Chain A
Amino acid sequence: MTAYTSRPEGSRLADVLATHAQLLSIAGFFLIMVVIFSTLSPVFLTPGNLLNVLRQAAPILIVAVAMTFVITTGGIDLSVGSSVALVNALAAILIQAGVPWQLVVPVLLAIGAGIGAVQGWFIAFQGIQPFIVTLAGLSALRGIALLMTEGFSVPIPTGIGFVQIGRGWFAGVPAPAWIAVAAAVAGFVALSSMRFGRYVTAIGANQEAARRAGIPTRAVLLRVYVLTGLASAVAGIVIAARLGSGSSNAAVGFELDVIAGVVLGGTSLMGGRGSMLGTILGALTIAVIGNGLILAHVSPFFTQIVTGSIILLAVWLNARVFSRLAAGRRRRT
């Protein structure tokens, strides 16, 4: 009656579009923001301002790279802002106490990693919800910073090399931007091409399946929280160096910017799906919005409202429009 034929394969292009729908949508959104702000303000597209945006975005970008791993496992780290504040305050306190800054930096990095390890231990080995553990961290870590500084801003002497971490320029690009680029490249390679990234994705997709495949799931989970702790320490150091002071009030709401950047980039809060390129674009989008609204002379009180609305709009477009377009294309071929 009928000839036996194989089902025709879908076109390569349609597959690529479907797979990268989220990335394409955030890239498009990022470009739209750039176009809008460059028409609103002639200053926006100048090299000076763009480098400024990069420098401003660096702390968010650094932590967002680490957060991408955490969210890809299906977890969340709400404590990053408080970790930044704690490291930020400690940096100023230690330097003021006369500890050489070359020693302060590694000590702070170790403290950041240690904070992550403690939280990661509760999450990975004690099975407590990441939301709860890091919510406790969010409260307690800033509390420690407040206790140590008694709420005052602690100045850092500007003569020393430490401030170069935040204010220096190398090859025409601000030092924080270099650090962020290094973090982004390392994160991209680790997530897409290394065993660690593969295990992170597998755990987020199906933790029990990953365990049954012989993956040391708890050790991997612990490590992603060490990563966010470490990245928070780097961000705290960069902010302290740039502002020349340490304060327990640094980076308030920082965790929300970071998480928003990651989610904007298409990384699924359900886990199993992470995009480092998306995170980079997402974090830059948030930085561009912040910078562009200031240049466009929008009242700073509006910034949060606009940022919130734009995030919702972008995620909505992502979920309802771009994904459907890609799915429709796949069906038609």
Chain B
Amino acid sequence: MAAESEGAAPAAPVPRISMRGIVKRFGSVEALRGVDLDLHAGECLGLVGDNAAGKSTLTKILAGAYVPDGGEIRVNGNPVSFRNPADARAHHIEMVYQDLSLCDTVDVAGNLFLGREPMRGPFLDRRAMRDGARAMLDRLEIKIPKLDHLVAQLSGGQRQAIAICRAAAFDPQVLIMDEPTSALAVAEVEAVLALINRVKASGVSVVLITHRLQDLFRVCDRIAVLYEGTKVAERRTAETDLQDLVSLIVGEKHVARGGRA
């Protein structure tokens, strides 16, 4: 089960995404201290690390939500600089944010189409939005009875499902998911993992941040470990196990490298 998609692993010489020496500071805090990361077509990269390791910051930089203070990002070998999320979206990079980034007072269909509303002349095409939203939700097997409900009226799991649906629906090349399953029930987690395997198979690159380490082994091809703003390890999923990951995350091996090991 774990390595069933090994075959889809990188073949292209040029990685789809290549991040080099990414630095980000928040005031005096150096959130990222020069991180390199490659992402190939059709692979899923797991990103793990303790709280404040820099996982979210790194992915937000890739999604254009933060502008890095240093370093370089290449998409298919071409250097890019994202000034805002719209730039990253134009390169088909979509992200599910940890805070979901939904607008509570906008309805379900409106949230799914936020920023790319279908128009009929100068007006919003509500019918197209409703039909499109229904189709998007059905594809992910998400049950939401009324599309004209405001997002504020939905449960945590439904909200998370909508955020995932929105990112996955518009043909992304890179799909970043920051803790996408934290509020989901068992069946919904399965649906998200199945989604990841499905989009991977269609050539999408996925970055998955999660604290559910067992999930990583079911969908990821590689796992990168961040620690205090640096990348301390990168493992092929087949060559690591839960115990190994845990010690990498908490930094035992890293700290004790000179001494015990």
Contact = CB atoms under 8 A, between A and B. Distances in A.
Interface of A: 9, 15, 189, 193-195, 198, 201-202, 204-206, 208-216, 272-273
Contacts of B95: 212
B65 A193 contact: no
B259 interface: no
Contacts of B146: 9, 15
A32 to B, nearest CB: 28
Given A208-B101, A210-B115, A214-B86, 13 more contacts: A198-B106, A198-B110, A201-B103, A202-B106, A202-B110, A209-B103, A210-B103, A210-B114, A212-B63, A212-B97, A212-B101, A214-B84, A215-B115
A316 to B, nearest CB: 22
Nearest to B123: A193
A191 to B, nearest CB: 11
Interface in B80-138: 84-86, 89, 95, 97, 100-106, 110, 114-117, 119, 122-124
B145 interface: yes
12 contacts: A15-B146, A198-B106, A206-B101, A209-B102, A211-B85, A212-B97, A212-B101, A213-B114, A214-B84, A214-B86, A214-B115, A215-B114
A272 B102 contact: no
Contacts of B63: 212
Contacts of B124: 193-195, 198
Interface residues of B, number: 26
B145 to A, nearest CB: 6
Contacts of B119: 195
Given A193-B124, A194-B122, A212-B97, A206 B85 contact: no
A213 B101 contact: yes
B123 A194 contact: yes
Interface of B: 63, 65, 84-86, 89, 95, 97, 100-106, 110, 114-117, 119, 122-124, 145-146
Contact of A273 (B89, B105, B145): B105
A205 B103 contact: yes
Nearest to A272: B105
Given A193-B123, A194-B122, A194-B123, A216 B86 contact: yes
A89 B117 CA distance: 43
Query: For B86, B103, B119, B146, which residue has the most chain A Cβ atoms within 10 angstroms?
Result: B103
Given A193-B123, A210-B114, A213-B115, A205 B106 contact: yes
Given A195-B124, A214-B116, A202 B85 contact: no
Contacts of A210: 103, 114-115
A195 B117 contact: yes
Contacts of B104: 205-206, 272
A220 B146 CA distance: 29
A203 to B, nearest CB: 9
Q: Most chain-A CB neighbours within 10 Å: which of B63, B89, B106?
A: B106
A213 B114 CA distance: 6
Contact of A205 (B84, B105, B117, B123): B105
